[in-house]
Amino acid sequence: MTSDAVHVDATLFLGMNSTDEAVRVACKSFFASRLDGRVTMSLEQVGRCDDVVWRFPRAVQDAYYPFMDNLHTDMRIERLGYGRADLDAARDTPGLEALPAHERLLAGMVLARKGILYTASPRLLALGELPVLPPGGGAEAAFPAPLEEMYRTSLALRVTPARLWGEDPCTQD
């Protein structure tokens, strides 16, 4: 993995379907503007996304998954498991102790791999000295057609901020 690799988490990915419009637009614009780029996502964070989506009714899942499937195909999303160095960084880095385990492990991965994490998680964004950034802001960027149409259909699934960055993404609102 090269230095300055861009890492994303479940809050950023599912943030594209947030009920909070500012979060939704920022997260969507992040991905739409980097469609030709490359991002890294831990296997755990991918699973956290799926776990949230699978808790919605089947009709909502069916509206959501074509977009997600196509985005994972069109964009270079490298899905990685944790390694020993990631675990060591999560354990040994001061300031991570108060984070829930899933965020501590993610921060360890980003640090060990000398990357940058983009997230919508207030806990991770509050880390200060660590390489953690919000998705940005501004006007809503669009995906190329027909991905934009799939995205619009995917908005049948809307995730509340509490579910986005709760310690347990499966908590029912």
Residues of the chain with pLDDT under 70: 1-3, 166-173
Q: Which pLDDT score is estimated for 166?
A: 67
Half-sphere exposure of 28 (CA within 13 A, CB side): 25
Q: What CATH number did the domain enclosing 137 receive?
A: 3.40.50.1010
pLDDT tens digits for range 50-86: 999 999 999 999 999 999 999 999 999 999 999 999 9
Has residue 143 been placed in a domain?
yes
Has residue 131 been placed in a domain?
yes
Distances (CA, A) of 89 to 32, 85, 93, 106, 107: 31, 6, 6, 10, 8
Has residue 32 been placed in a domain?
yes
Q: Which pLDDT score is estimated for 11?
A: 95
What Rg, from alpha-carbon coordinates, does the chain have? 15
Reading the block at residue 103, the tokens are: 């965020």
Has residue 172 been placed in a domain?
no
Reading the block at residue 28, the tokens are: 């969507």
Q: Which pLDDT score is estimated for 164?
A: 80
Has residue 134 been placed in a domain?
yes
What is the greatest pairwise CA distance in the chain? 45
Q: Which pLDDT score is estimated for 129?
A: 78
Has residue 68 been placed in a domain?
yes
Has residue 173 been placed in a domain?
no
pTM of the model: 0.91
| Spatial CA neighbour of 161 closest among 37, 19, 10, 2 | 19
- In the chain, how many domains are there? 1
Q: Which pLDDT score is estimated for 172?
A: 38
Has residue 1 been placed in a domain?
no
Q: Which pLDDT score is estimated for 2?
A: 43
**Structural domain span for residue 105:** 6-165
- Count CB-CB contacts under 10 A for residue 96: 20
Q: Which pLDDT score is estimated for 165?
A: 72
